[in-house]
Amino acid sequence: MPTTTIAGRDVAVDDEGFMTQYDQWDEDMGKALAAAIGVDMTDEHWNVIRFLREDFKAQGETPTIRRVSTAGGVDTKQLFVLFPKKPAKKMAYIAGLPKPLGCV
Protein backbone atom coordinates (compact mmCIF):
# COMPACT_ATOMS: atom_id res chain seq x y z
CA MET A 1 0.00 0.00 0.00
CA PRO A 2 1.57 3.34 -1.02
CA THR A 3 1.85 6.27 1.37
CA THR A 4 2.05 9.96 0.71
CA THR A 5 2.48 13.17 2.67
CA ILE A 6 -0.61 15.34 3.09
CA ALA A 7 -0.57 18.49 5.22
CA GLY A 8 2.79 17.42 6.60
CA ARG A 9 1.75 13.92 7.69
CA ASP A 10 2.39 10.47 6.20
CA VAL A 11 -0.87 8.72 5.29
CA ALA A 12 -1.88 5.54 3.47
CA VAL A 13 -3.45 5.99 0.05
CA ASP A 14 -4.50 3.76 -2.84
CA ASP A 15 -3.00 3.86 -6.35
CA GLU A 16 -5.14 6.84 -7.27
CA GLY A 17 -4.34 8.79 -4.12
CA PHE A 18 -7.57 8.12 -2.19
CA MET A 19 -6.85 7.85 1.54
CA THR A 20 -7.49 4.37 2.88
CA GLN A 21 -7.45 4.87 6.69
CA TYR A 22 -10.56 6.64 7.99
CA ASP A 23 -8.90 7.79 11.20
CA GLN A 24 -5.85 9.35 9.56
CA TRP A 25 -7.96 12.18 8.12
CA ASP A 26 -8.61 15.59 9.64
CA GLU A 27 -10.00 18.83 8.24
CA ASP A 28 -6.53 20.28 7.56
CA MET A 29 -5.87 17.34 5.29
CA GLY A 30 -9.28 17.81 3.68
CA LYS A 31 -8.27 21.36 2.86
CA ALA A 32 -4.93 20.21 1.40
CA LEU A 33 -6.60 17.46 -0.64
CA ALA A 34 -9.16 19.96 -1.96
CA ALA A 35 -6.41 22.39 -2.95
CA ALA A 36 -4.61 19.58 -4.79
CA ILE A 37 -7.61 19.12 -7.10
CA GLY A 38 -8.41 22.81 -7.42
CA VAL A 39 -11.42 23.00 -5.07
CA ASP A 40 -11.67 26.07 -2.86
CA MET A 41 -13.48 25.00 0.31
CA THR A 42 -16.46 27.06 1.54
CA ASP A 43 -18.94 26.31 4.34
CA GLU A 44 -21.20 24.67 1.76
CA HIS A 45 -18.36 22.36 0.70
CA TRP A 46 -17.65 21.48 4.33
CA ASN A 47 -21.29 20.60 4.98
CA VAL A 48 -21.11 18.03 2.20
CA ILE A 49 -17.74 16.65 3.32
CA ARG A 50 -18.93 16.34 6.93
CA PHE A 51 -22.02 14.47 5.76
CA LEU A 52 -19.81 12.05 3.82
CA ARG A 53 -17.61 11.46 6.86
CA GLU A 54 -20.57 10.79 9.16
CA ASP A 55 -22.41 8.65 6.66
CA PHE A 56 -19.32 6.53 6.02
CA LYS A 57 -18.91 6.02 9.77
CA ALA A 58 -22.53 4.87 10.08
CA GLN A 59 -22.85 2.84 6.86
CA GLY A 60 -19.33 1.58 6.23
CA GLU A 61 -19.20 2.75 2.65
CA THR A 62 -18.76 5.94 0.67
CA PRO A 63 -22.19 7.41 -0.14
CA THR A 64 -23.25 7.74 -3.77
CA ILE A 65 -24.28 11.07 -5.29
CA ARG A 66 -27.89 9.96 -4.97
CA ARG A 67 -27.42 9.28 -1.27
CA VAL A 68 -25.73 12.65 -0.65
CA SER A 69 -28.67 14.27 -2.39
CA THR A 70 -31.52 12.33 -0.71
CA ALA A 71 -30.08 11.69 2.76
CA GLY A 72 -27.67 14.65 2.87
CA GLY A 73 -30.11 17.16 1.42
CA VAL A 74 -27.83 18.79 -1.18
CA ASP A 75 -29.26 18.50 -4.67
CA THR A 76 -27.24 16.89 -7.41
CA LYS A 77 -27.04 20.01 -9.54
CA GLN A 78 -25.43 21.85 -6.64
CA LEU A 79 -22.94 19.02 -6.09
CA PHE A 80 -21.79 19.50 -9.68
CA VAL A 81 -21.34 23.22 -8.96
CA LEU A 82 -19.34 22.57 -5.77
CA PHE A 83 -17.25 19.68 -7.14
CA PRO A 84 -17.24 20.21 -10.91
CA LYS A 85 -17.27 17.36 -13.46
CA LYS A 86 -16.81 14.38 -11.13
CA PRO A 87 -18.48 15.13 -7.80
CA ALA A 88 -18.61 11.53 -6.54
CA LYS A 89 -14.86 11.02 -6.88
CA LYS A 90 -13.90 14.53 -5.78
CA MET A 91 -16.06 14.46 -2.64
CA ALA A 92 -14.64 11.09 -1.59
CA TYR A 93 -11.09 12.24 -2.31
CA ILE A 94 -11.40 15.36 -0.17
CA ALA A 95 -13.23 13.50 2.63
CA GLY A 96 -10.42 10.94 2.85
CA LEU A 97 -12.77 8.06 1.98
CA PRO A 98 -12.34 5.15 -0.43
CA LYS A 99 -13.24 5.81 -4.04
CA PRO A 100 -16.98 5.14 -4.43
CA LEU A 101 -17.63 1.62 -5.71
CA GLY A 102 -18.15 1.63 -9.46
CA CYS A 103 -21.43 -0.19 -8.97
CA VAL A 104 -21.41 -3.36 -11.04
As annotated, the active-site residues are 103
Interface with another protein (CB under 8 A), residue from 23, 42, 43, 103? 103
Q: Tell me, what amino acid is at 83? A: F
DSSP of 38-63, one letter per residue?
T----HHHHHHHHHHHHHHHHHSSPP
Interface with another protein (CB under 8 A), residue from 26, 44, 70, 73? 70
Q: 38 or 102: whose CB is closer to another protein?
A: 102
Residue 3 region by backbone torsions, left for phi larger than 0, else alpha for psi between -120 and 50, else beta: beta
Interface with another protein (CB under 8 A), residue from 71, 73, 92, 95? 71
> Are the C-beta atoms of residues 90 and 80 closer than 8 Å to each other?
no
Going residue by residue from 13 to 52, which x/- string records binding to another protein, judged by CB under 8 A?
A: -xx-------------------------------------
